[in-house]
Structure 1
Amino acid sequence: MKLTRQEWLKLRVPLIIFALALIFITVFVSVAENHKNVVKSGLGAQKNQLAQAQQKYRTSGHEKETIVKYLPLYQALVNDGFIGEERRIEWVDSLRTIHQKNKFFKINYSIASQEDYKPTFPLNAGTFKPKHSLMKLELSMLHEGDLLTLINALDAEETTPFILRDCELTRLVQSIPNTFSPNMQAKCELDWLTMHEPQESKP
């Protein structure tokens, strides 16, 4: 069927309205779909934030338990001088106290500058930095037991932990026999050990 010109003119307005309606529907559907994607993406981000917050909460709880568990031990190591700055004055005071208490003949000592400690055994110090200070000792003795007494007394003192490197014993020749004088001399080296806490990053 062929439409006349007048009939086409009558249909022009409805056709234009129909075309505009199609365009509007298409735009509306596109906007609605885009809004749906935005909402979905925002919901996913909120879920991720919630999961991260829950993980941080669980982690903070675990860290709190760890701190509560190990804080007394950590504080004890700080009090003993193992963690923190070296305590040379306390080391010297301990030697003097042991010397006077046990009435040793003579003790000479020297302490080298503190250096990084590189042990020959596996050591997992984490973020702490192990340090050591070399002390050289010379002890005049009546017999070998004096050296054991000195080492055991140092170990019993509430001071920084140490590692005995080596000792060399030398027998002395008495110029006057049967007198109360040193018969032996010991030369020892030991390491006073400390752990330095990690430096906090400056802002």
Structure 2
Amino acid sequence: METMMAKPNALRAKPAETNTPTWRDELGMIAPSARLCAAVLGAAVLLVGAATWYGTRQAAALAQAAQVRGAAAGRFQNVESEKQDIAIYQPRFMELQAGGLIGDENRLAWIEAVKSIQGTRKLVSASYDIDAQQPLAFSVPMALGDYQLRGSRMRVELGLVHELDLFHFIDDLRGAGRFTVQDCKVKRTDAPAEALGVARLTANCTLVWLTLGSAPRPDMAALAKGLP
């Protein structure tokens, strides 16, 4: 009977062994989530960078477009302003051109005008001489653009019956072009008062015929020679 009985300690079952997870085991568990989070963050950074680059590029393109539009608007305003100036000043320009101020001088017209006035006004005599044309300088600077003011001095000697003949001569001569009277001297002659067909007065006048011609172009070759 003694051999058939088991010991009390031998009859107890051994408890199951349990393993406590370590930090390495936990790290392995969260590794997939960490990699996913890192991938998402990387993608987000790339998207933010791409959005920033695209936004900067679009802002630069918008600024350039605004600059081009502003330049086009400025040119349009200039064109409109020039059109208005042409509409305002072209008739006056054409009038001055037809009157002989703008363009080349026309000495033949001046000479023919003197001869025609002498016959029309029945002047006793009319003689003249014209100097070479010269550029005129202004005491106050004037903006003439591509034009240059020039003058041709004409000296006229007239034999007159009375003083009004001189004023009539000057008024009639204005139809041949634009001029200014520089000086005019009138003196009596020794002709008797009862004499007919003789000059009782002589007038010596200096006129300056005015023209606006194209300003001479600078000699580029001469300018190049003067450069160091």
Q: Give your verdict on TM over 0.5.
A: yes
Rounded to whole Å, the distance in 2 between the matches of 1:28 and 1:64 is: 53
Query: Which of residues 172, 175, 178 is equivalent to 1:161?
Result: 178
Residue in structure 2 matched with residue 193 of structure 1 by the alignment? 210
Deviations 1:37-65 (A, max 9, x none): 11122122222322332333333223223
TM-score (norm 1): 0.80
TM-score (norm 2): 0.72
Gaps of 5+ in 2: 1-20, 219-228
TM superposition shift of 1:15? 4.3
The structure whose RCO (Cα within 8 Å, separation 6+) is larger is: 1
Rounded to whole Å, the distance in 2 between the matches of 1:179 and 1:81 is: 37
Tell whether 2:174 aligns with 1:180.
no
Rounded to whole Å, the distance in 1 between the matches of 2:211 and 2:190 is: 39
Rounded to whole Å, the distance in 2 between the matches of 1:2 and 1:166 is: 123
Tell whether 2:117 aligns with 1:117.
no
1:48-127 alignment runs, 5 A limit: 48-119=67-138, 124-127=142-145
In the alignment of these two chains, the number of paired residues is 196
Aligned identity (percent) is 23
Gaps of 5+ in 1: none
2:101 and 2:177 in contact (8 A); partners too: yes
Query: Which of residues 35, 39, 48 is equivalent to 2:58?
Result: 39
TM superposition shift of 1:19? 3.6
Corresponding residue SS for 2:155? strand
Rounded to whole Å, the distance in 2 between the matches of 1:123 and 1:116 is: 14
**Structure with greater Cα Rg:** 2
Tell whether 2:165 aligns with 1:146.
yes
1:83 and 1:197 in contact (8 A); partners too: no
Q: Compute the RMSD of aligned alpha carbons.
A: 3.0
Deviations 1:93-112 (A, max 9, x none): 11111112222222111111
